[in-house]
Amino acid sequence: MELNFDGLMKTMEKAALSERGAAERVKEAQGKKARVKAATSWEDRWKQIFGMSKFKSGLDRQRAERVKAAVENGVLGMDVPPEKITGKLVSEKFRELELAEKNEKIAKLLKSKPDNYRLIQTEDQFKALLADLRHEPAFAFDTETTGVDVYQDVIVGVSLTLPRAGYHVYIPVAHNNAGPQLRRSYVLNGLKRYLTDPTVGKVLHNAKFDIHMLLRHGMRMRGLAHDTMIAMKILNENEPSVALKNLATRYGKFFGFDGESHTFEDLFGKACFADVPLDMALIYAAKDTHLTWELYKWQMEHLTKREDLLKLYRELENPLVDICVEMEQTGFAVDTAFAQEYGEELKGELAEVEKTLVAHFGEINFNSPAQLAEVLYDRLGLPQGKERSTDVKTLKGLKGRHPGIEPLLKYRELTKLLGTYVEALPHQLKADGRIHGSFNQVATVTGRFASREPNLQNLPPRARRLIVAPKGWLLLGIDFSQIEPRILAHMSGDPHFREPYLKGEDLYSTLAARVFKVPLSECGDGSKYRKMMKIGLLAVMYGTSMFTLSEQLGISVEEAHRFIEGFYDEYPDVYAFIKDTWEFVKKNEYVATLYGRKRRFPGHREQAIVYDQLAAKICKALGTERVPLDFWSNKGIPKDLKRKFGAVKGEVERVRRMAVNARIQGTAADIMKRALLNLYEYTRARGWKINGTVHDEALLLVRDTITLAEVEELEACMVRAAELEVPVKVDTEIMARWGDGVKKGEYKWVA
DNA sequence: GGCCCGAGCCAC
DNA sequence: AAACGTGGCTCGGGCC
């Protein structure tokens, strides 16, 4: 636990963790249903269904109309005749409530204006501000904009908090129908030397957004000292919302903000900030930087108590913000002609397959699992699992049973490729004809990047081919080879496991030969032993159950168990690594990566203690060393033990899997982030760009005059990012089209 | 018509 | 009772 306020954090983190649990959501939904049922009036019912705080859009008015209709038709079955609804349309009533609620919040907001919030509207006021800014080694900064599209919207005002001078300002520059305002260019020019000076610290909440917005107006901000959104995720990766106002509402009492802080949407709904009156805008916007600064100080209290986290934040996450901005700004070029052509080709294929499917199954929607299940299991009487699933695995199992299955699988493949990628990507182009997705450095609990709008990390090979390098440029893909097993080799310290890497042998072949006790010559590329070993090692790292592993390998559960036991016998330190992780997370409720990133599991200790105690009792009762694989069907386990153990088994084992995985996957993520920093330094000096990252691969945009020596220097940037006691290897692909390149040895170098 | 969720599936 | 970790997108279908 990083933050001191144990009770609060514990509750918070528990809530956050449970939010991830589907069971909790179901329970919540059931509770909601019950409350709705119990509501005695239409108003109550509305509240329960939508929540009073959510009155904001025209959409809700539409809903309201429907509620009214439902009331009138007696559908809701309530004893509230329509005429009793205050004589007005329901929608009007809601509009009234909505307005009243908003106005109340806004009135409260206006009344709350502190004396040190200042509106800057004249040149004199602005010059006085700049004079004070000269004495600030660091300040908080924020932009207000017409919207959240960083490639379309514009800045309508900026706010600053000057901590030494002790006041907070909002400078409107493009508000509609408002009082006197300075011009945007004048204000940005005045602030430029402070915003671009790397030695003047800027503190922002979600700096990436503001850096993009400043770039819209031709300014490159430098000198990000602290990003409170990112730091929050480092302090608590389970934080459910890192929206500034939500953090203020939740933690504000620890840094001087009592009561609720309303989000923009709460106060202004879908309005454009340019239309917000200046007095209101001041309080809202100046509060943003004010909050950001206080949150920053509070976060620093906690970070300084945890040197490892401070280091992780300062040296890794904070400088990465600039790289995220660069990746997003760079974007990906799409070969639209190829996309068009390929799309047509796929559509042609799809039409053929559809014809076949109609002949087999009739005119149904083949995209609908429900309709499909009805045809497959009810009409055609194919053998159904208990779940009537229509997923690929199930369908493959039914292949021999019906001639329509094969084309159905083909249909799935084609619609996925076409609908999710080939047709979708060209729609994502921005004004400059490139795709600018967003990369989020703190979206995952393990530290990996996430990518969205579109997700460029899950393009299948065939869709990657739509992405090309612009003329005069090349795409460079440098990926870490087997980074996760290498991390396991390093962290476990297992000398036998490290051996193949140190000797330059193939990992899986060597492992397979040892575990299966067959000559190395029988474990070469493509051999069944090597294949099994590869899956087996993945199972070890991901904590796969013996049941799943047996299915994957097509062997019995007992055989799978013997296989993994055999592996642990040969590599005892790997086993110890896993057991140590379990012990550590039981004791500390967190695990850490090689570079200090933490994943916390609040509340695990208690459950793990129960788990271990009950496991010991079961072993004693059975006279075995471990809880048997057939725990659930085992008749020898006393009923009450079975019930009690069953209650904690799933969750404890889940945490243990996540903990082991977080150490390995998280360390790999750290290494990639370190690599990106090295690459950024190298490419920036040459005007090249970092394009993106796909977990163990860095994508770069480089000039086509690049030399072999330069490629090798880029590779060195990657390799030296990993400080492992086993060699680290990278592979580079040189491409004009993503996924269609050559290895550096095969490339025809210009120079 | 938008929101939400599950099923299914793509990547590493 | 549940069986593999981390994500995001599309679709159908239910909701109002």
Please say if the pLDDT value at position A1 is more than 60.
no
Identify the pLDDT of residue A210: 97
Q: Distance in angstroms, CA of A393 to C1' of C9?
A: 20
For nucleotide B10, give the residue with the nearest CA to its C1': A458
Name the one residue in this structure whose structure tokens are 């090295």. A678
Q: What is the DSSP letter of A228?
A: H
Q: Distance in angstroms, CA of A185 to C1' of B12?
A: 44
Q: How far is A35 from A23, CA to CA, in rounded Å?
A: 18
Query: Is A648 strand, coil or helix?
Result: helix
Alpha carbon separation from A20 to A6, A23, A25, A27, A448 (Å, rounded) = 21, 9, 8, 13, 18
Identify the pLDDT of residue A701: 96
Identify the pLDDT of residue A27: 37
Amino acid at A544: T
Find and list the nucleotides of strand C having atoms within 7 Å of a protein beta carbon. Answer: 1-14, 16
Please say if the pLDDT value at position A123 is more than 50.
yes
- For residue range A588-611, list pLDDT tens digits in order: 999 999 999 999 998 999 999 999
Band (pLDDT 50/70/90 cuts) for residue A387 is: confident
Q: Distance in angstroms, CA of A651 to C1' of C5?
A: 15
Using C1' positions and the CA of A446, the closest nucleotide is C6
Nearest in space to A445 (alpha carbons), one of A240, A604, A748? A240
Domain A335-435 in the same topology as domain A114-305: no
What are the start-end ranges of the E strands in A33-172? 117-119, 138-145, 155-162, 167-172
Please say if the pLDDT value at position A236 is more than 60.
yes
Band (pLDDT 50/70/90 cuts) for residue A100 is: low
Please say if the pLDDT value at position A419 is more than 70.
yes
For nucleotide B9, give the residue with the nearest CA to its C1': A416
Considering the domain delimited by A114-305, tell me its CATH architecture. Answer: 2-Layer Sandwich (3.30)
Identify the pLDDT of residue A619: 94
- Proximity of residue A655 CB to strand C below 7 A: no
Band (pLDDT 50/70/90 cuts) for residue A401 is: confident
- Proximity of residue A26 CB to strand B below 7 A: yes
- Proximity of residue A548 CB to strand C below 7 A: yes
Q: Distance in angstroms, CA of A374 to C1' of C13?
A: 15
Query: Is A256 strand, coil or helix?
Result: coil
- For residue range A341-355, list pLDDT tens digits in order: 999 999 999 899 999
For nucleotide C4, give the residue with the nearest CA to its C1': A544
Please name the residues in contact with A296: beta carbons below 8 A apart, sequence gap of 6 or more.
A140, A203, A226, A228, A231
Q: Distance in angstroms, CA of A707 to C1' of B4?
A: 52
Least confident of A19-33, A398-412, A612-626: A19-33
- Proximity of residue A673 CB to strand C below 7 A: no
* Domain extent listing, chain A: 5-110, 114-305, 335-435, 495-570
Q: Distance in angstroms, CA of A472 to C1' of C10?
A: 35
Identify the pLDDT of residue A622: 92
Q: Distance in angstroms, CA of A732 to C1' of B6?
A: 39
Amino acid at A74: G
For nucleotide C8, give the residue with the nearest CA to its C1': A455
Q: Distance in angstroms, CA of A255 to C1' of C6?
A: 34
For nucleotide C9, give the residue with the nearest CA to its C1': A420
- Proximity of residue A463 CB to strand C below 7 A: no
Least confident of A112-116, A170-174, A661-665, A683-687: A112-116
Find and list the nucleotides of strand B having atoms within 7 Å of a protein beta carbon. Answer: 1-3, 5-12
Please say if the pLDDT value at position A660 is more than 90.
yes
Please say if the pLDDT value at position A356 is more than 60.
yes
- For residue range A39-88, list pLDDT tens digits in order: 333 333 433 433 322 322 333 333 444 444 444 443 333 333 333 333 33
Identify the pLDDT of residue A11: 29
Q: Distance in angstroms, CA of A391 to C1' of B7?
A: 8
Structural contact between residues A328 and A436, judged by C-beta atoms closer than 8 angstroms: yes
Using C1' positions and the CA of A57, the closest nucleotide is B2
- Proximity of residue A364 CB to strand C below 7 A: no
Using C1' positions and the CA of A63, the closest nucleotide is C16
- Proximity of residue A113 CB to strand B below 7 A: no
Identify the pLDDT of residue A486: 96
What is the pairing mode between strands A332-334 and A467-468?
antiparallel
User: A335-435 maps to which CATH number?
Assistant: 1.20.1060.10
Using C1' positions and the CA of A365, the closest nucleotide is C12
A91 sits in which H/E element: helix A90-111
Please name the residues in contact with A205: beta carbons below 8 A apart, sequence gap of 6 or more.
A142, A227, A228, A229, A244, A288, A291, A292, A295
Least confident of A75-84, A372-381, A399-408: A75-84
- Proximity of residue A556 CB to strand C below 7 A: no
- Proximity of residue A371 CB to strand B below 7 A: no
Structural contact between residues A718 and A476, judged by C-beta atoms closer than 8 angstroms: no
Residues 42-101 of A with CB within 7 A of strand B: 59, 62-63
